[in-house]
Homo-oligomer: A and B are copies of this chain.
Amino acid sequence: MASARQITGPCQAWPQDSAFIREVLDRIGDKWTVLVVSTLNAGSLRYSDLHASIPGISQRMLTQTLKHLERDGLITRTAYAEVPPRVEYELTDLGRSLRDAVMAMAGWAAAHHSEIAGNRAASDLTGVGRGKAPASAG
């Protein structure tokens, strides 16, 4: 899928691996995946439970996200052939490892989000303030 990239910089050890990151990022990039995984952290849940636990999600997005997660082996889908249909979803070991990884990101976010918010507010106050203007060394 991805073509080999030519990197000009001196330290280009990990950009090649960005293909992997891209895959993961494309998955956790959409907000629903993270929400679904975090909700499934509570254990095995039914479709309606997930739908109720995740406020803004539509059936379309919930179904799609679940299929993607199942396809990647991050969750298991168990359908009970009962009169009132029942389907339960649960995180796999792989899914739990993803959850851990995302939680690490969440840790970083929690640790720095105030600093980022501060920077953003300051940058907003400075308004159009561009970068610093050092001596123009011709």
Q: How many of these chains are in the complex?
A: 2
Checking B15, B42, B113 against A24 with a beta-carbon cut-off of 8 angstroms, the contacting residue is B113
> What class of interface size applies to chain A in its complex with B?
35 or more
Contact A110 B5 (CB under 8 A): no
* Complex alpha-carbon distance, A28 and B123, angstroms: 20
Checking B3, B53, B101 against A8 with a beta-carbon cut-off of 8 angstroms, the contacting residue is B53
Interface residues of chain A, those whose CB is within 8 Å of chain B, are 1-3, 5-12, 14-15, 17-18, 20-26, 28-31, 34-35, 38-39, 41-43, 45, 49, 52-53, 55, 70-74, 76-83, 87, 94, 96-98, 101-106, 108-110, 112-113, 115-116, 118-120, 122-124, 130-134, 136-138
